[in-house]
Structure 1
Amino acid sequence: MIDVRFEPDRLVEQAAEIAGTDDFGDDDGWRDGLDRLCDGLVADARLNPLGVEIAVMDITRALTNRLHIMAWRAGHPEVAAAPVARPIVIVGQPRTGTTILFDLLAQDPTLRPPLTWEVDNPHPVPQPQTYRSDPRIAQTQASIELSEQIVPGLLTHHPMGATVGQECVRMTSGAFCSMIFSVQYRLPGYYRWLLSDADHRPAYRFHRMFLQHLQSDGVAGQWVLKSPAHLWQLDALLDEYPDALVVQTHRDPLNVISSIAALTHHLRRLASDESSIAECATQSCEEIVTGLDRAVTVRDSGRFAAGQVVDVHFADFMRDPFATVRALYRALGRELEPATEARMRAFLAAHPGDHGGNRYRWSDTGLEAGEVRERVRRYQQRYGIADEALK
């Protein structure tokens, strides 16, 4: 029965029936990604019965959202012509302060993050007058809280909310070329395809379509975006957004690997009864090492203009968040208004967290620290990243 649930043609037909349209746009690789994802969910993901339902729902949502976005563009050609000007894009390894930095910048009323509820439910286009009261907000929040009931402690490891910013991987899921799937599910073949063989440029084109769709609602603000996955594809990011302002966060990769492995394990427990931190760590290590090497190469290639990338060190940010934010604003050529800083301080006081956490241990990864350290030495030397004591 599981094989039938993940037949791509069946999923495509179901989504078309829900959306009332069958125009998915150009087949620029999304169907190949969907086929690979479905194959992996059947052969490798070790889904439990709940996991089957969650995965079917994730795919159906991605397909349906794609259909709605294409239909809206077809009926409103001005959407496709609208610019996405100078987005601020936070990149960097996971667990390096990207989320809290994203959340702080989102307190600036001149900036606009894509919020979880509108990314998950972009149709109909959200409207300014109901942007904070749309019924989809409560629906999305209820779904998030249900996840916490299924896997207690999940939100402690990975805080989520309907009205906070959502990562770009949630948008590129509609291109089926997205790390969101290979983090949430065990998909060894799919994630290696993402790392080594997939053409990510169509996913970034769809990413722009998604932003154009959301901004057609009339809610003002310069986009502020975030995803560690951009680190793996800086070339593709620049191809689509040549004027992007990039903020790269930095931290000792070894503690990143053990932290993201623990997070991945907790996420996968929603859908599978068979997950281990060690297996997640093997994937995380390969992804982190590959991403850091690629990012160093792209940044040293001269593709970025002077001042287009701002570096933020995790240790500095944790020691004095607002000194870091002020320096970031200066580097971006922006004015940090007192009222905006006050909003940021209030948010941080309400969401202190531990921004990096101590709920993981290197010993759980099964990796040899000296070997991994040598593989990331180039990155650490390039950006002056000191070794941290392993947790």
Structure 2
Amino acid sequence: MKAQELIDGAVDATGLSDFGDDELFGGDGWRAALDVLVASFDDEARLNDIGQVMVPGELTGYLVNRLGLVAHHRAHPDLRERPITAPLVIIGQARTGTTMLFDMLAQDPAHRVPQTWEVDQPLPPPRTETYLTDPRIAVSDATFELVDSVIPEFRAVHQLGAQLAQECVRITGSCFTSAIFPTQYRVPSYLDWLLHDAVDDGHIAASYTWHRRFLEVLQSEAPGHRWLLKTPFHSWTLPQLVAEYPDALLVQTHRDPAKVMASTTSLLATLRQLGSSEIEYQELATEFYEIILGGLERTVDARLDGTIAPDQVVDLQFDHVMAEPLAGARAVYDGFGWDFTPDLGARMSEFLRTHEREGHGHPYTFESTGLDLDRVRTDTARYVAHFGVPIEQR
């Protein structure tokens, strides 16, 4: 697989050639990021037959979306005059109740969420009058049939659906500076680049510029009062997030880090089965140890150094959210001084009733990660103490 061949394929498919190399779209760093990613895929990904077909298609899809979004912005410069008003951003780690909270908060008509179908196919921009019936919804849902056929147990771990809220890593996939790739595939060199060089060289800041451009298109003909956003990787890049969205309001969910690491490893091992037949469980746990630990530590730093103001964030403990989901949602509204109406509570209750996860989650143990529990406890002691995170039974 060659990056230039993917680029040429996207150009041929669209008839467009402007990838937005100027600062308006975050600069030309996307190409360097793509080169690192493709090299990591070629050298390290251990793709199976499905993965060999799927990955070039996915990367070309991101390039096609990028070309289309740049062209749309060039033709409609007024999009950038419409503000992104104080987004609400969930920044908790994976497996801490963020998805359930995300989907519950999305039931508020005041919240505009990026749904999976529109993130996958953002053009033409979704329209309010056809938002619930757009034919792209069925197209997006059909793609999950492959997941169901290869890893049918995945829905017991994580909800899937074209009209469910989608994470920001899928948006930043179009600038190839995104945790979506190491989440889905074994690309350790790319992950190392993402956690270090991409931050230091300004690629992360550029990805948030692109993120804004993406949201501007989505809201252009289907606006909302407030964007509701989510991804655990925001915890790693909080200075860049608040630089782009200084009025953002944050929700951070907390859970025993050992449980987070064990559950995340299990989730990713299940997800990666789609593109690879060679999953080394303990290697995966070690690979993601740094990203989880770094995210936790950086959230403490952001509180102590003033990057995040106290009135800008609401903290929620995992056990409280899971035991009483509506109380967790209400705590967000109380924290920001918003009215939690009976109608809103009814909407959220109905969603919880009709979207129960298939099965009862997934079995996992910390021991299977191969990580040293004493080291985890030592490395995360500052985070646990700062946020008062309870330690769960093993």
Residue of structure 1 in register with 2:131 after alignment: 131
Residues 1-391 of structure 1 correspond to what in structure 2 (within 5 A)?
A: 6-26=1-21, 27-198=27-198, 199=202, 200-353=204-357, 357-390=361-394
Instruction: Output the amino acid matched with 2:324.
Output: D
Structure 1 unmatched runs, 5+: 1-5
Instruction: Output the amino acid matched with 2:33.
Output: G
Q: Distance in 2 between matches of 1:358 and 1:180?
A: 21
Instruction: Output the amino acid matched with 1:359.
Output: P
SS at match of 2:311: coil
Question: What displacement does 1:336 show?
Answer: 1.4
Q: Distance in 2 between matches of 1:70 and 1:235?
A: 26
Q: Percent identity?
A: 44
Residue of structure 2 in register with 1:3 after alignment: none
Q: Distance in 1 between matches of 2:257 and 2:357?
A: 21
Which stretch shows the higher mean deviation, 318-327 or 195-204?
318-327
Segments of 4+ in structure 1 off by > 3 A? Answer: 352-358
**Contact persistence 2:7–2:63 (CA under 8 A):** yes
CA displacement 1:42-93 (0-9 Å, x = unmatched)? 0000111210111111101111111111011000010122211100000111
Question: What displacement does 1:276 show?
Answer: 2.1
Q: Distance in 1 between matches of 2:222 and 2:295?
A: 36
**Contact persistence 2:46–2:278 (CA under 8 A):** yes
Q: Distance in 1 between matches of 2:324 and 2:151?
A: 33
**Contact persistence 1:262–1:280 (CA under 8 A):** no
Structure 2 unmatched runs, 5+: 22-26
SS at match of 1:310: strand
SS at match of 1:23: coil
**Contact persistence 1:97–1:355 (CA under 8 A):** no
Q: Distance in 1 between matches of 2:212 and 2:303?
A: 22
Q: Distance in 2 between matches of 1:357 and 1:32?
A: 39
Instruction: Output the amino acid matched with 1:136.
Output: R
Q: Distance in 1 between matches of 2:263 and 2:310?
A: 33
Q: Distance in 1 between matches of 2:257 and 2:236?
A: 15
Question: What displacement does 1:219 show?
Answer: 3.3
Q: Distance in 2 between matches of 1:253 and 1:191?
A: 20
Q: Distance in 1 between matches of 2:358 and 2:126?
A: 33
Question: What displacement does 1:354 show?
Answer: 8.8
**Contact persistence 2:156–2:361 (CA under 8 A):** no
Instruction: Output the amino acid matched with 2:123.
Output: H
TM-score normalised over the length of structure 2:
0.95
Question: What displacement does 1:355 show?
Answer: 11
- Classify 1:54/1:15 alpha carbon distance in 2 versus 1 (closer, same or farther; 3 Å): same
- Classify 1:354/1:232 alpha carbon distance in 2 versus 1 (closer, same or farther; 3 Å): farther
Q: Distance in 1 between matches of 2:69 and 2:289?
A: 35
- Classify 1:204/1:279 alpha carbon distance in 2 versus 1 (closer, same or farther; 3 Å): same
Which stretch shows the higher mean deviation, 57-66 or 331-340?
331-340
CA displacement 1:314-355 (0-9 Å, x = unmatched)? 111122222222121011221112111101001111223399
Instruction: Output the amino acid matched with 2:213.
Output: M
Cα RMSD over matched residues? 1.4
**Contact persistence 2:85–2:225 (CA under 8 A):** no
Q: How many residues get paired?
A: 385
**Contact persistence 2:157–2:362 (CA under 8 A):** no
Instruction: Output the amino acid matched with 1:389.
Output: Q
TM-score normalised over the length of structure 1:
0.96
Instruction: Output the amino acid matched with 1:22.
Output: S
Instruction: Output the amino acid matched with 2:7.
Output: V
Q: Distance in 2 between matches of 1:205 and 1:246?
A: 19
Instruction: Output the amino acid matched with 2:61.
Output: R
SS at match of 2:31: helix
Q: Distance in 1 between matches of 2:331 and 2:154?
A: 33
SS at match of 1:214: helix
Q: Distance in 1 between matches of 2:64 and 2:254?
A: 36
Instruction: Output the amino acid matched with 2:141.
Output: Q
- Classify 1:177/1:205 alpha carbon distance in 2 versus 1 (closer, same or farther; 3 Å): same
